[in-house]
Structure 1
Amino acid sequence: MSGGMILTDSSRLDSGFIGIFIAVILFMAIVITLELLLIYAVFLRRFKYISIKLDEQGIVYTNIKEQIFIPYEDINMIQFPSIKYMGGWTKIVYSKGSIRLTAVLENIGEFMGELKQKLDERNMMDVYDEDRFFSFYKTGVFADESWERIYGNIATQVITCFVCVIITIVTLVLHGGNENNKLYLYASFIVPILGYLISEIIMVFQVHKRIEEDSYQLLPRNEEFEKNLFKFCNLGAAIVYLVVFFTNILL
């Protein structure tokens, strides 16, 4: 996209400017890479070692430093400072301390459903608020499935954005540029991503319909529907952009 901004602006097509531009891009790439490595080393790396599971007697929580076993009977309170479908975390307070689990922990929805069953079997319903528990459960379920869709659709998303950007650059170059070059180039990248976001918003309502509140059971996903919805929204957004783009450029 940055290269396209140069190619579509004839006033900047000189060797000196292009050389400076390339140097700036390389410098920024190095800085951003070092920044991301630092963030990973200081903050993100520890999440790689976090895991949590249930056995018959309690919760087994493992992090980068230690493994903690929490008997169900030692749990005093479960807190849920989260916004439904929008992330957050749960805090499990027990006799010797507390642990915090984020909504993006893998299979957190399934974990919360099983934890509720274990607590209910022991008549420990007083340690959690029913409405807040169920709200976080839905948040966890949506997070689990959303990550699966991201992993499954990322290649299509990248290709769609790339094709839209290339078509925009080629068209603008052949057409001799346009006063709205930057606007079109930004839109060629952003609009397909907006299509993905629209599909995820629709899936929020689908998840809500599939959850049986009384039993904390989640009805099976319709993965074929999810794939078709993503394709429709992603490709639909790209087509809408290209139609608007060509209409404004060629007419």
Structure 2
Amino acid sequence: MSSNTEKCFNRNDRTLTIVDEEDQLDFLCEGFSSPRARMSCGHAVTPTSLTNWCRRLLEDGESKFVCAVYGCGKEWPYVEVRKMALLTPEERDYFERTVGLNASKVYFDFKSCPGCKFSVTRKNESNLSVRCQFCTARKGRAYEFCWQCLGEWKGPQPRTDRCENDNCFNEALKTLKNCPDIVFESVKDVSGCPSIRACPTCGSLLEHSSKKCKNIFCPRCKVEFCFVCLKVSTECLKTSSHFKPCSSGVAPRQTSIPVWQR
């Protein structure tokens, strides 16, 4: 893929609204120097920050592009993202293939059975062990494989974290375990809070920018929760405020990914 740093809006493109405003998707304050354009939701972006955010959504398994600005969460049409992000042909191909793949996973939760290669759906998202009926009939015994590592199932079940194959591990759980702590700029007297959390409603991994308040809006499930105590904001704010420590303290690092009960 081409370097994002080479991207810049064409100031003469009259279909773009070029603005002299802060890049509101530059969470790491990297100060991308290209001009800003206003998205349909009203927030200003640079091509680089927009591309980075949309790629992150795709890597998290999303099939829709939504604004990450706190309290917004409005969806951007792909045609708008394709234009405003100034995607290269390679990036467009990657974005379009991944959108289709992620959408299929949402609406048709399936994987290829490692035994017979036929598509198998998972009915219970709280159990990584999945039985293939075709292989079970063919082998004359129950054949189950791990939804995560795709190896034949080893160990007790049900389990949501891993099977007992040596190569089975959850990348999301690894991230939650190893991410550094966050230092809030505006929330005082909070220490030991991980910089990345799994949304307590849908399980999507989110990183706090360390700016503004401790609460964060999940673009996937549209639920606002407290990054410190992991309670939904309406519960947390009954005994605290946006910029004060939580009455229940800092929730420990998560060791499981919440399953979205839609």
TM-score by length of structure 2 reads 0.26
TM-score by length of structure 1 reads 0.26
Higher helix share: 1
Structure possessing the higher radius of gyration over alpha carbons = 1
| Structure number with higher relative contact order (C-alpha < 8 Å, ≥ 6 residues apart) | 1
